[in-house]
Structure 1
Amino acid sequence: MVLPTLLSAPTPTSGEIKSVCVFCGAGDGGDPIYAQEAFELGKMLASNNIRMVYGGGSIGLMGAVAKGTIENGGKTLGIVPEPLFKHGSAQLGETVIVPDMHTRKKRMAEESDAFVVLPGGFGTMEEMLEMITWSQLNIHSKPILLLNTKGYYKLFVDWIQLSVQEQFIKTKNADIFVTCDTTKDVLNLLQTYQAPETRYGLDWTKKDEENRQSLI
């Protein structure tokens, strides 16, 4: 995992959330409810004048949430690595081409005030876990929400609880992310989110030795 050269940023207040990064699958999933909820999320973002930042593309849940935003008058920003762009997937809305996957995640984080995670596969999980890790390390303190459509993230939440039980994760650090069952809950949770105080108090402007001491 490559850590970004970002300074720790404060959690935005409710009035400051103007741009939300959405991580989600490029497939539709096995149940129409996944695409329906993705579209509703995009619609909700548009109706609240919140820009949607995502991985670009027009298919799967990525396409559904982008269409839900655009078709309801909202703005989107797709950030696509050049190899994927050359692969030929059609793009929706404004698109930025970046050289690689690491740059993509860094740019998505910089462009967003919060993160919402929809169902997806390996890529979605990797993006979500990196943002959770960056929060734990105090690179950012932005809201991270999991849209638990059809209980999709139940096993992940169970694994987090097991990790807490086995003392690999601090109890309060399990609250770095919050889950919600429907898009109706997303806006309220974005506005009320508070990053746990048990996160590592690292200052990314300090020297390495100072940060090592703060981990002890």
Structure 2
Amino acid sequence: MVQSNAQKAVCVYCGSSYGNDSKFSNEARNLGQLLHSMKWKLVYGGGTTGLMGEIARAAMGPKVDGFVHGIIPRALVSRERDDDAAQVDEKAVSSFNDEIKKSVENHSGLTPLSHEYGSTTIVPDMHTRKRMMATESDAFVAMPGGYGTLEEIMECITWSQLGIHQKPVVLFNMDGFFDGLLAFIQHSIRSGFISEKNGQIIQVANSAEEVIDKIQQYIVPEGRFTLNWSDEHRGDK
């Protein structure tokens, strides 16, 4: 049973498209609403379109009082945001460039492109986006998406395997979306390329409630590398 405790920040990777079935949007809203009800923070890619926009609006809540932080490279602002604020805020975006380096260092450069989607930080590139999202988050969740979503969650899985972080990694497998990926992972385990224990890094949830349960009940699997990554600790404090 889901229980609300100390606030967590949950990084959700997902598509900037809606997909071809309304169930994807519905489930994204369900997870966003649950995060809002628990007063947990959503960290996401900063888009307002597709599943990104759905979960961000839901996590902000009907009174727009939730905790949402979007992080987006400047080059993607016009592509992944279709709200009016993004279209008319080019001057604000331009003036913010002088503060980008400072915001990357102290994570305080929040640009409110649209309060309906929470606060937004504009960063110079994809590498900075991913690093900031990981640093700020206590758990990682993947919802349906394309190449970018797959690359982002696989990097988090690899970071866990290498011992860079010990945070929960959850696939929100709505309507079996990730069944193919899970079959590949099992094939890799059988073929001797992934250990059985490292296969446990990934937890699978079929509902929004189960996503929260998997985060709260996550046990760091044994058998991971425990190397000293010096300055490569991406948010594992």
TM-score (norm 1): 0.85
- Find out whether 1:166 has 2:198 as its counterpart: no
Q: Answer whether contact 1:77 1:96 (CA < 8 A) is retained.
A: yes
- Find out whether 1:54 has 2:44 as its counterpart: yes
- Find out whether 1:39 has 2:14 as its counterpart: no
- Shift in CA distance, 193/62, structure 1 to aligned 2, threshold 3 Å: same
- Shift in CA distance, 69/88, structure 1 to aligned 2, threshold 3 Å: closer
Equivalent of residue 143 in structure 2, options 118, 136, 140: 118
Q: Could you say which structure has the greater relative contact order, defined with CA pairs below 8 angstroms and 6 or more residues apart?
A: 1
Inter-partner Cα distance in structure 1 for 2:212 and 2:75? 34
- Shift in CA distance, 17/114, structure 1 to aligned 2, threshold 3 Å: farther
- Find out whether 1:83 has 2:108 as its counterpart: no
Structure 1: segments with no counterpart, 5+ residues: 1-13, 207-216
Q: Answer whether contact 1:43 1:68 (CA < 8 A) is retained.
A: yes
Q: Answer whether contact 2:66 2:118 (CA < 8 A) is retained.
A: no
Q: Give how far 1:205 is off.
A: 2.5
Cα root mean square deviation, aligned: 1.6
Equivalent of residue 20 in structure 1, options 7, 10, 33: 10
Q: Answer whether contact 2:197 2:221 (CA < 8 A) is retained.
A: yes
The one-letter code sitting in structure 1 at the alignment partner of 2:45 is G
Inter-partner Cα distance in structure 1 for 2:195 and 2:7? 28
Equivalent of residue 154 in structure 1, options 179, 184, 204: 179
Inter-partner Cα distance in structure 1 for 2:129 and 2:212? 25
The runs of at least 4 consecutive aligned structure 1 residues that moved more than 3 Å come to 14-17
Which residues of 2 match residues 60-209 of structure 1 at below 5 A? 60-72=50-62, 73-87=65-79, 89=81, 90=83, 92-205=117-230
TM-score (norm 2): 0.78
Q: Answer whether contact 1:17 1:113 (CA < 8 A) is retained.
A: no
Equivalent of residue 20 in structure 2, options 1, 26, 30: 30
Inter-partner Cα distance in structure 1 for 2:44 and 2:174? 19
